[in-house]
Structures are given as structure tokens and as C-alpha cells.
Amino acid sequence: MICPDCGFDNIRGVDNCEACGQPLAVFDPSGGELEQTISRHPITVLCPNIPLTTTTTASVASAVSTMAEHHVGCLLVLDDSGQLVGIFTERDVLTRVAPQRDQLAQPVGDFMTSSPITIRHDDSIAYALHAMDIGGYRHLPVVDADDHPCGVISIRDILSFLCVRFAELRATS
């Protein structure tokens, strides 16, 4: 049985996914089309956006300016070797920076979310939704096999995909 959360192909009859530990006993694989869509489709169908990046030493003012200029809700924060070390989001600006307005010259590294949860291109949409729900995230970095960031998806990307899919299903029924 394929886990709806992480896409791992489990041995038939197991109660919990061997990869992510989620219960499989309550999963109904014959669910509706939308449920099957999020379980079957990898996040590649969302066409993850090329991420905008910054460094831990960049100023908060610079990061906020970049986000506003490009109309994005987050920047991925990389170290000198290109490895992902954090994510700086609109929420970080509102909850961590705004209360201390005199902190705009401070480095992003002081306000970012360190060691963010990541996903891979072949992870299912269901897995991404699960990670977003559990962590309370609106953005997830997508990493390649070497853990280098290669994309970012947002809850808006998932909702847009589901709206299109829902319209397609209604048109055929």
C-alpha cells in the first residue's frame, strides 16, 4: 500500500507507514478523485518556482525589499557552499522583525527559520500538504538529491492546482 502522506510503497497489511510512521489503517485508497489526485501526483506537477535566495549575513531590509520587488513570500537562506540553512518568510517579518522595527539592519540569520523542513520533486502533493499542516508552514523548499535547493512551493501553488483539477472533474461529470 502506498502511503498517502509520503508516497512510500509499504508491504500490504502494515498498520503504519514504514517511512513516515503515519497510520495506514484509516486511509481509504478508493477515495474521491481529488484525494487520489493529491496522493498520486508528485509536486513536480506544481512546477515549483525557482527560489530566490539570500545569505545569513544579508540585512533584513535587503531581504524584505527583494521579497517585495519579486512578489514572493519567502527567500531561501544559503550558506557559502550553497546548502540550505534557513528560510525567511513574510511570517518572520511580521512576528519577529515588526515588533523590533529598529532591527532592519540586522542579518537575516537572526530572524530566519533555521533548518526548514524540505521536500523532493518526487514527493506527493499529499506529503507536502501533510508537512505544511503539521509544521504550520505556507512555503516548503524543494531540494535535489544533494540537498541543494532547486525550488519552492507554497500552499497557494497547491490550491491553484486543486482548483484546476476540481474544475476538470466537474466538467467531465
- CA–CA separation, 156 and 171 (whole Å): 22
Closest CA to 60 of 127, 107, 7: 107
Query: Which CATH number fits the domain 44-162, given the four candidates 3.10.580.10, 3.30.160.100, 3.40.50.2000, 1.10.3210.10?
Result: 3.10.580.10
Closest CA to 139 of 67, 88, 83: 88
Tens of pLDDT, residue by residue, the chain (173 residues): 778 778 788 887 777 889 988 887 665 555 678 888 888 899 999 999 999 999 999 999 999 999 999 999 999 999 999 999 999 999 999 999 988 778 899 999 999 999 999 999 999 999 999 999 989 999 999 999 998 999 999 999 999 999 998 888 888 87
- CA–CA separation, 124 and 141 (whole Å): 14
What is the sign of the dihedral through the CA atoms of 61, 67, 68 and 73?
negative
pTM for the whole thing?
0.80
Domain ranges in the chain are: 1-30, 44-162
